[in-house]
Amino acid sequence: MEQFFNDLPDGWTIYVWIVAGVMIIVAVGFALRWAYKTDQFDEDIKYLVFDENDRDKLSPEDYAKYKEVLAEQIEKRKRYLEEQARERASRHAKR
């Protein structure tokens, strides 16, 4: 194996680096696409750590924002579960 690498012409390692770099860029692209599709960049997610017992600790604006974000998340979850149920039903119908 060592002889194989010694017989390669000068400058072959740059191609290994280029291939590795392209693979990393493609992987980052897929990771960003996944993150975007699953709402990983949602800045309002921080409001979901609160619950009704924290009302006295929140300002009225923050509490209103908490309620708004919670309602949005519940709606997103319903849509997601409905979509999953449709996909499951379509897979069973194909069998």
Structure tokens at 30: 């897929």
pTM for this predicted structure: 0.56
Asked whether the predicted pLDDT for residue 22 surpasses 90, the reply is: yes
**Percentage of the chain modeled with pLDDT above 90:** 41
- Tell me the C-alpha distance between 76 and 95, whole Å: 29
Asked whether the predicted pLDDT for residue 11 surpasses 90, the reply is: no
- Tell me the C-alpha distance between 63 and 54, whole Å: 9
Asked whether the predicted pLDDT for residue 7 surpasses 90, the reply is: no
The predicted structure's pLDDT at residue 26: 98
Average pLDDT on 38-54 reads: 83
Average pLDDT on 52-57 reads: 87
Q: How confident is the model at residue 78 (pLDDT cuts 50, 70, 90)?
A: very high
